[in-house]
Amino acid sequence: EDQVTQSPEALRLQEGESSSLNCSYTVSGLRGLFWYRQDPGKGPEFLFTLYSAGEEKEKERLKATLTKKESFLHITAPKPEDSATYLCAVGDNNDMRFGAGTRLTVKP
């Protein structure tokens, strides 16, 4: 069965302090690696899909990268509004399995 492990569980950063979130996965065959952002009391919001090792996607201060065993979500010069839980998932639109998430807090 596909497994997704995210680390760290929680991360506190100062505004402007860049860092990375990790998502390691075990799958029989990677169909897709997804990143979502979830604000408290809300549903997850789609950020990126990655399909093959070496692929990168960027959106504002976020950049997602993929290797054969893990994905990183790099946050450059974060702002307080980037505070949220970031979820990683593997699969495709037929079946998507999520990790437990990393809760990011950015302090001004």
Partner 1 sequence: DAGVTQSPTHLIKTRGQQVTLRCSPKSGHDTVSWYQQALGQGPQFIFQYYEEEERQRGNFPDRFSGHQFPNYSSELNVNALLLGDSALYLCASSFLGQARGYTFGSGTRLTVV
**Residues in touch with partner 1 (CB under 8 A):** 4, 6, 32, 34, 36, 41-47, 49, 51, 87, 89, 92-101
Least separation in angstroms between CB 16 and partner 1: 28
> How far is Cα 60 from Cα 17, in angstroms, rounded to an integer?
15
Q: Please, which residue, 28 or 94, has the CB nearer to partner 1?
A: 94
Q: Please, which residue, 36 or 71, has the CB nearer to partner 1?
A: 36
Least separation in angstroms between CB 35 and partner 1: 9
Least separation in angstroms between CB 77 and partner 1: 25
Return the amino acid letter for 80: P
